[in-house]
Amino acid sequence: MKVNTAKKEEVPYKGEHLVKLEEIENQVSELRTQLESLSKSSPENKISLIVFSGDLDKALASLIIATGAAAMGMDVVMFFTFWGTPILRDKGKKVGGKDFMGKMFGTMLPKGVCEVKLSKMNMAGMGTVMMKSLMKKKNVASLEQMLELAAEMDVRIYICEMSMDLMGFKREEMIEYPNLTFCGVAKFLEEAQNSKVQLFI
């Protein structure tokens, strides 16, 4: 609209009408392409979370946000990287063929949601045990239950391939999850770019 009215005022000579019309047409088509690219890059109703921490409390918070967002009708993406990756290991799975460092990381890092510890007041594991029993008493869902819920609610999980490789984890030792993808940073950024909310936890 703006273009049209502005251009109309700027047409003083009859002979230049055709030229001006062409100019306007060009501008309109230019605006149209701009509008199209704008609508393509505008954020979707989506949340992208980076789960960097391997602590029970932070993992729980990220899963609560993820399931809450799914309940609110948002598309949810969780990107597990670095200390967050061992949370997704399956306790029951055993894989061989690891080198020395891989074995060491394998034993020292938690094997799945059950072995994840509190970031504060762990007190050699006592704090975590107390927190877990308190969570049960207060009906707060465990990490395991939250992961199940996330799967039910179509929360998508991405696992950082580089972190896995660094710590010597193999794909075969990760949990069975319906929407699990192994990827790198670009995949996450593609999702984050058109998300309304991005969080680093």
Partner 1 sequence: MSEDIKVDKVMDLKGMPCPMPIVKVSKGIKDVEVGQVIEAITTDPGALADFPAWAKTSGNEILKTDQQEDLIKFYIERKA
Q: Residues interacting with partner 1, by CB under 8 A?
A: 64, 67-68, 70-74, 138-141, 149, 153
The residue (of 61 and 162) whose beta carbon lies closer to partner 1 is 61
- The least distance separating partner 1 from the CB of residue 178, rounded to whole angstroms, comes to 17
In this structure, are residues 132 and 142 in contact, taking their beta carbons and an 8 Å threshold?
yes
Question: Cβ neighbours of residue 161 under 8 Å, at least 6 residues apart?
Answer: 182, 183, 184
- The least distance separating partner 1 from the CB of residue 92, rounded to whole angstroms, comes to 27
- The least distance separating partner 1 from the CB of residue 67, rounded to whole angstroms, comes to 5
The residue (of 23 and 57) whose beta carbon lies closer to partner 1 is 57
Q: What is the rounded CA–CA span in Å between residue 143 and residue 132?
A: 10
- The least distance separating partner 1 from the CB of residue 146, rounded to whole angstroms, comes to 9
The residue (of 146 and 160) whose beta carbon lies closer to partner 1 is 146
Task: Report helix, strand or coil for 171.
Answer: helix
The residue (of 131 and 160) whose beta carbon lies closer to partner 1 is 131
- The least distance separating partner 1 from the CB of residue 71, rounded to whole angstroms, comes to 4
Q: What is the rounded CA–CA span in Å between residue 201 and residue 82?
A: 11
Phi, psi (5° rounding) for residue 177? -140, 135
Question: Cβ neighbours of residue 134 under 8 Å, at least 6 residues apart?
Answer: none
The residue (of 5 and 42) whose beta carbon lies closer to partner 1 is 42
